[in-house]
Structure 1
Amino acid sequence: MIPAYFHKYPKTLLNKGTGFLSGYSHSLNPYAGCSFGCSYCYVRQMPVSVFRGAEWGTWVDVKMGAAELFRTELQKAKAKGPVTIFMSSSTDPYQPAEHKERVTRSLLEAMADDPPDFLFVQTRSPLVCRDADLLRRLGDKVRVSVTVETDREDIRKHFSPYAPPINARLRTLRLLADAGIPTQATIAPLLPSTDKFAETLQTLVDRVCLDDYFMGDGSGGKRTRRMGIRALYEQLGLEEWYDPSAYRVVRERLLKVFPEDRVYISQAGFEP
């Protein structure tokens, strides 16, 4: 799937942290839209997608002049108090467009020069490793969270065929850790996995966040139900994984290899 790209000049970049992200002063999205187009993405049900008139995953807005605008907004925000940033809440900052457009890198360059109090980077893309030099400059003021919803590539292809392969994401966790960058693996949303998943992650990270549709889509799972995600589970005969209690199975597996204080559930795992 090749999305349509639109180059736009935003008037603002920093948004107030609210709801699920109320622990942050701001959220920051280098792009609008996301060409990974994951079937379960809750953004499909948000105004940025609903009122677009085009299928989620088929369009991407590239935010031009982002770094210059961000530098100005960051200074204003700092004058009012601590600045903690979640990047990104409604797009992947390292989706394919970033290879060429480098909007995310330009924002990290600005932050490396003038760091916020904390930056949380949420992605599922190996491209984040490209910016290890800038992430290292942020020291303990950054955490990179790499989404690894499952350890089964067949499941990944069924639910998010345009997203990076699982093995590439696992290598990304290894490379980030080797570079000394604070990282976590994020199983969100929880997808069917094997009983070896926890052991695989334990060799790569010392911190895991676990979330599902019912805790993490901002509506108790209602947004996800409206998208008909259950049908994808039925096609595989794995309906038992589409249940509010399914996360407990994976949590118990994680607790066999991780200390309890290193396994975070839902919102707690995304806090600064």
Structure 2
Amino acid sequence: MKQEYMYKYPKTLLNKGTGFLAGYSHSLNPYTGCSFGCSYCYVRQMPVSIFRNAQWGTWVDIKQDAAAIVRKELRRAKAKGPVTIFMSSSTDPYQPIEHKEQITRSLLEVMVSDPPDFLFVQTRSPLVRRDIDLLLRLGDKVRVSMTVETDREEIRKHFSPEAPPIPARLKTLQLLAEAGVPVQATIAPMLPSSEAFPQLLHAAVNRVCLDDYFMGDGSGGKRTRNLGIQALYKQLGLEEWYHPSAYRIVYDRLRQVFSEDQIYVSQKGFEP
């Protein structure tokens, strides 16, 4: 998919944590837009996407001087109380363009020199492995949450053809964990998977978060329904996976491999 990149000069980057992220003092998005353009992404329904006049997944805005802005904002925020940051809430902080631009890396450098109380890094990109050196310096003040919605590549290609392959994500989780970075696998949104999925995850992590459209899109599944996601399940003849109780299929399978205190459901798995 052809990408359009624009440089933006924001005045602020740390936003107040609200709604699903109310457990955090702030959210932080190094980019606006997302090259992965997943079919089920709730951001498609948000003003940032609706008023863009360009298809979601075809554009990314690169936030210039991000490190300098966050350095200042972080100092100010810390003077007022504990600072917990969710990165990112409406984009992936490891966009393909991050290879070149290194906005996210520059933000991690700021946080290494002036650590927040906690940083949660949400991504589906293997590029996060590049920053193991910085993540290790944050110690137990960071957790990397890698989205792994399924173990079936044909399912991943059906719902999010532009997203990184599942094997590369599992390998990245393993590398991070072996290096000593706190990690979790996040099955969100849960897509149809095989019975062997929990074993694959168990080889890499000891903490899993499970979420679906109905618990996790902030509207009880309405936002996702408006995207016409059900049709994608129909095409595969897998409608039974698109249901508020379907998460139990995966939860019960996870319980055969993970202990109850290693499995987090929906919002709890994203909290600081």
| CA-to-aligned-CA distance 1:15-65 (integer Å, 9 cap, x gap) | 000000000000000000000000000000011111111110111000000
TM-score, structure 1 as length reference:
0.99
Q: List gaps (5 residues or longer) in structure 1.
A: none
| Residue equivalent to 1:176 | 176
Counterparts of 1:216-255 in structure 2, within 5 Å, are 216-255=216-255
Amino acid at match of 2:235: Q
| Residue equivalent to 1:46 | 46
| Residue equivalent to 1:8 | 8
| Residue equivalent to 2:149 | 149
**Counterpart of 1:60 in 2: which secondary structure?**
strand
Q: What is the CA distance between 1:132 and its match in structure 2?
A: 0.3
Q: 2: CA distance between counterparts of 1:192 and 1:88? A: 25
The answer to whether structure 1 residue 264 and structure 2 residue 271 are counterparts is no
Q: 2: CA distance between counterparts of 1:48 and 1:265? A: 28
Q: 1: CA distance between counterparts of 2:98 and 2:159? A: 23
Counterparts of 1:63-212 in structure 2, within 5 Å, are 63-212=63-212
Task: Choose 147-156 or 45-54, whichever is displaced more.
Answer: 45-54
The answer to whether structure 1 residue 56 and structure 2 residue 93 are counterparts is no
**Counterpart of 1:79 in 2: which secondary structure?**
helix
Q: Percent identity?
A: 77
Q: 2: CA distance between counterparts of 1:198 and 1:77? A: 39
Q: 2: CA distance between counterparts of 1:50 and 1:213? A: 20
| Residue equivalent to 1:34 | 34
Instruction: Count residues with an aligned counterpart.
Output: 272
Q: What is the CA distance between 1:2 and its match in structure 2?
A: 2.2
Amino acid at match of 1:144: V
**Counterpart of 1:82 in 2: which secondary structure?**
coil
Q: 1: CA distance between counterparts of 2:30 and 2:141? A: 19
TM-score, structure 2 as length reference:
0.99
Q: What is the CA distance between 1:3 and its match in structure 2?
A: 1.1
Q: What is the CA distance between 1:199 and its match in structure 2?
A: 1.0
Q: 2: CA distance between counterparts of 1:260 and 1:67? A: 39
Q: 2: CA distance between counterparts of 1:229 and 1:108? A: 35
Q: 1: CA distance between counterparts of 2:203 and 2:175? A: 12
| CA-to-aligned-CA distance 1:118-177 (integer Å, 9 cap, x gap) | 000000000000000000000000000000000000000000000000000000000000
- The CA RMSD measured in Å over matched residues stands at 0.4
Q: 1: CA distance between counterparts of 2:173 and 2:70? A: 28
**Counterpart of 1:121 in 2: which secondary structure?**
strand
Amino acid at match of 2:113: D
Q: 2: CA distance between counterparts of 1:130 and 1:241? A: 35
